[in-house]
Copies of this chain bind each other. A is one copy, B any other.
Amino acid sequence: MSFIPKSIEQAIEEFGKLPGIGAKSAERLTFYLLGKKNEDLERFGEAIKKLKAGLRYCEVCQNFSLEPVCGICSNPSRDPSVLCVVEDPLALIALEKANAYKGLYHVLHGVISPVDGVGPDDLKIAELIERVKKVGVKEIILAMNPSLEGDATSAYILRYLQPVGIKITRIARGIPMGGDLNYADSQTLKRAFEGRGEY
């Protein structure tokens, strides 16, 4: 594109590589930034450049962390007897923001998906099994997304952890709050009936 300065073209190209951001959005974001102060661009650019600086996996839960043990695992006010297994750090963030849970986590960093070439060894499953065997926990809550891959991953974990004899649960599936039965798919309705609770 000879009709725009190289620096603008480069930024458009970089934004365009992001998932869900098409060519038009990439242009729009770039020109939005052109209206910003230099210090704002400096801060944004640095945040991206330094995103992974010093980042590692927490030795305990495998979440991203700057310390050997992350803030959640080292927090004495969290209940270490319950372990919630999540697909990725985004799920952990969602649960933390919802303030729904006060135990510890284990982050798998993905789900088993043969189509995408992701097997159990690509995930932090071995770390989970070792952790559970080393540190006694009362309950393991599987909080994978309700999907084929999520279910396959749960099944795989169950096979290894059920023999250990710990209580294993999974988060409920049903109609979301504010949802409408008219618009719920049949699988969701089926699960909502299966998982019904007594008043």
Contact = CB atoms under 8 A, between A and B. Distances in A.
A90 B34 CA distance: 12
A25 B19 CA distance: 10
Oligomeric state, in copies: 2
A181 interface: no
A93 B27 contact: yes
Nearest to A5: B66
B3 A93 contact: yes
B1 A96 contact: yes
A55 B5 CA distance: 8
A51 interface: yes
A52 interface: yes
A2 interface: yes
Contacts of A96: 1, 3
Interface in A61-80: 63-66, 70-72
A183 interface: no
Interface stretch (A37-45, A124-132, A142-150, A189-197): A37-45
A20 interface: yes
A88 interface: yes
Contact of A38 (B29, B52, B72): B52
Interface stretch (A10-18, A111-119, A155-163, A167-175): A10-18
